[in-house]
Every structure is written in structure tokens, then in C-alpha cells.
Amino acid sequence: MSDLHAATDDMVLDERVRGFPPGHPQLPLAAVGAQGWKPYDGRMALPLISLDRQAFASNVDLMMAYVKSHGAEIAPHAKTPMSTALAAALLAAGAWGTTVADIRQAAVMLKAGQRRLILANEIGGIAAARRLAALLGHYPDAELHVFVDSTPLVAALRSAWQERADLPPLGLLVEFGAGRAGLRSTDAAAAVLDAILAVETPAFRLTGIAAYEGAAATANAEETMLRIDALMAMIPDFLPKIRARIGKERPLLLTSGGSVFFDVVVARLSAAVAADPACRLVLRSGAIFFHDHGIYERGLAGLDARGGLRIGEKTVSAAAGFRPALRVWAEVLSRPEPQLAISGMGMRDVAMDQGLPRPLALYRNGAYLCNFESAEVFRLNDQHAFLTLAEDSDVSVGDVVEFGISHPCTCLDRHAILYGLDPDHSVTAAYLTSFG
């Protein structure tokens, strides 16, 4: 168990936190899972967000099996849950390291005892470089690799590392990109490579090549694949140029792979890794472990259309294999019209950037009532969801709705506590999130 999580197990929760029963005596975080609460039993304050622990564990097993079968590694992106406990669980399940998106997220994971991080982003200029140095000065045993896509960033990082003698080695990953940050050609990357190699030291050196294929996606599926293929092609094209400069012995990372096109990354980069024994392919998928009822549901249908998950000699359906693990629970507040219900969940509680939440089931008086997928959320306010109903729907004020969500990354950040559920929906764990 990480140092930070050991400390936060004693963190005291009360009714100021979503989900905690009003009037209940305060509890340490570690004791929440022993209370026997259920989101629909009338005790817990709604809305709240929950994690199906069995589905999460199943997703972890499937993704780790896939990665291992292709001789790759994974550093799951912690930006999705920002939970040190869940990040530690992924490491225990075989993850190579952890990915973060910025310096603050790196601080959260370092304070939790993690030491191998990919900072999958450019960080800014000299001020940001000094902030990163100030952080890493407290962690001399850290292994951190950071994206670079410009000579000014290389210069800023080098200056910050020259100013201090108490820093761990910093690894630089030359980033190729499409649609967002990252170098757009191998010629542009050559200039960044020159800048790095001109100032390399044992504590400041090139450690690989990076990309993020998800940013290349467009609304057109065919165009998306062309853009991703072009992006992925730059990595094996550039690798020999690096080897010509540094030799064949230095270990290098090739890292890409979100939660929608990671199969394409594996298909496009595996040959380059197989031909270079000192290279390691590291995926960075994070949302895949949580899955959803929206953008990733659609994304995995697309993965299946590309041939599914190849694990050893088997091909597995990604859509059938991965299970949505997140739910938001909220009460029906009003049924002002026969075909309209208002639920106590809104934009402050659930993601809406990649699709609206989906009603799944209805509960009444502490028990399951019926499937509720015939209802549809058509609008959100700050604190309210608007649901279209059939006129004869058996929906009453006080019923509890179980919602599926779309896009875990922009849903979890609204919640300080993620409640872990067992198969009968009893709360058996509470995970602190650290979104700042």
C-alpha cells in the first residue's frame, strides 16, 4: 500500500462528501466499506458515483492479458481516476509504470510512493521546468520521462537540471503528434534530437519516442485511420535515425496508445520493437479499465470491426470483454408531466462532453424495480437531469435511477470519493480521488 494511501485511510469523511449518509457519525475512509450501504437503500446521499469492483478487476485482467500477449508494457493513465489506490492496484496487476498529464498529477503519484512515471505532455517553459525540478528534488529515486516537441522546451529543461545537483535523471521522449501537440515530421524531430544530444548527460538524456494517436481522430472514420497510420509511421521511420546517433545498446521506449486505438498502435509498432531488442513498447491506456456506456462503448465496437482483441491464438470481442464499471446514482425529484421526469443529477455530477448519461435501472424502497433503458436523458442543468418517459412508465418521486456514463475522464473529476461496489451493490470500499 502506498505511503499516501496509508495516510488517507485514516482520513475522516462526513456528510460534506457526496454519498455519505446525512447525520451518520463521521468515519475514516477505510471504514466506509464495512457499513453495508447501498446507493439505492435510502441511506446514502445522492447523487454519487460508484465503481463496480468486479467489472474493474475483469477489465484489468483482460487488458493485462492483451498487453502481455503482445510483448508490450502498459503505464495506465492516472488522469482518469486520479486515485492513488487504483493506480497502485494497476501496478500490482503488472503495470510497468503510471502515466500522468501534468506536474501536479506527478506530485500526487510520487507522494503515494510511485517512482516510475511518464509525464505524457509538454510542460511549458523555464518556469514549468523549474517547478518540475523542485518537485523531483524531493524524489532522488524517481524515474520520470517527459514529452518534448521543441528546442525551447529542451533548453528550458536543460537549464533547470543544470541549476540543481539534487535531481534524479530526467528522460526525454520526442513526441510526434497530429491534431494536438507533437512534432509533425521526422525532419522537425531531427532538430529536437540534435538539441537533446548536444546537451546530454547521464542525468539528462533521450529515452524514447512518444505519440498520442487519439488526438488524430476526426468525425470521419476513414480519415481517422489515415491520420493515425501516418502518425504511427513516423515512429519506426525515426527510430533508425536515433540509433545511428546513439548506438544500439541504449534502452528506448516507444510509447503511445489510448483506450480506443491501442490495437492499431500495437499493430503498427510491434515490428519495430521486435527488430530492436533494446526497445520497449509501452501503452498508456487508462479509461479502458473503467469503460463506459458511451464514447468507449462506441470505440470498442470500432475495435471489434478492426478484428477484435488478439490474445495469443484467440480473438476476443472487446465490446463483449470489457465491462462498464462506473455508475452515477440519483433520485427522481419530480414527474411534472406524464412523459417527463426530473432527476437530481446534473452537469456538476456527470460528464456530458461525449454524450449524455444513460438510464439503466430503476429502484424503489431499497430494491430493484425494473430495467429503465426505455427512458432517455435529453438535457442537463447544473443539478438536474431531464428524462423522457413513456406515458405509462411506472416512475415515482423518490425512485432511484442507476445511470451509465459516457467518458470516465470528465465524470470522475467531479467527485472526491468513488464508492466501490460488490456484485450486490453493497459499498465495500471508498477511493479518494485527487483532482485538486
pLDDT per residue over 36-78, tens digit each? 999 999 999 999 999 999 999 999 999 999 999 999 999 999 9
CB 424 within 8 A of CB 367: no
331 and 278 co-located in one domain: no
pLDDT of the residue at 375: 98
Q: How many domains does the chain have?
A: 2
What DSSP character marks residue 153? H
**One-letter amino acid for residue 123 of the chain:** I
Could you tell me the CATH number of the domain that includes residue 150? 3.20.20.10
Rg of the chain over Cα atoms, rounded to whole angstroms, equals 23
Packing angle, helices 84-92 and 103-111, rounded to 10:
70
57 and 140 co-located in one domain: yes
Residue 267 three-state SS: helix
- Final residue before a domain boundary, out of 260, 293, 321: 321
The C-alpha angle with vertex 266 and arms to 263 and 272, in degrees rounded to 5, equals: 160
Q: What share of the chain is helix, strand, coil (3-state, %, to 5)?
A: 35, 25, 40
pLDDT of the residue at 6: 42
d(C-alpha 271, C-alpha 263), whole Å: 14
Distance of CA 386 to the CA centre of its chain: 28
236 and 223 co-located in one domain: yes
**pTM exceeds 0.75, yes or no:** yes
Burial class (CB in 10 A: 0-12, 13-18, 19+), 433: buried
pLDDT averaged over 10-residue windows placed end to end, the chain, 436 residues: 49 96 97 98 98 99 98 98 98 99 98 98 98 98 99 99 97 98 98 98 98 95 96 98 98 97 98 98 98 96 97 96 99 98 98 96 98 98 98 96 97 97 98 95
193 and 331 co-located in one domain: no
Per DSSP, helices labelled H in 70-185 are 84-92, 103-111, 126-136, 151-162
pLDDT per residue over 80-128, tens digit each? 999 999 999 999 999 999 999 999 999 999 999 999 999 999 999 999 9
Could you tell me the CATH number of the domain that includes residue 8? 2.40.37.20
d(C-alpha 84, C-alpha 432), whole Å: 8
79 and 150 co-located in one domain: yes
Residue 114 three-state SS: coil
pLDDT of the residue at 113: 96
Burial class (CB in 10 A: 0-12, 13-18, 19+), 340: middle
81 and 162 co-located in one domain: yes
271 and 371 co-located in one domain: no
71: left (phi over 0), alpha (psi -120 to 50) or beta: left
168 and 43 co-located in one domain: no
173 and 123 co-located in one domain: yes
- Final residue before a domain boundary, out of 275, 293, 321: 321
292 and 419 co-located in one domain: no
45 and 60 co-located in one domain: no
Q: Residue 329 pairs with which residues in a beta bridge?
A: 48, 402
pLDDT of the residue at 199: 98
- Final residue before a domain boundary, out of 321, 340, 368: 321
301 and 427 co-located in one domain: no
Instruction: Tell me which residue range forms the domain holding 425.
Output: 3-52+324-432
pLDDT of the residue at 133: 99
pLDDT of the residue at 158: 99
pLDDT of the residue at 4: 37
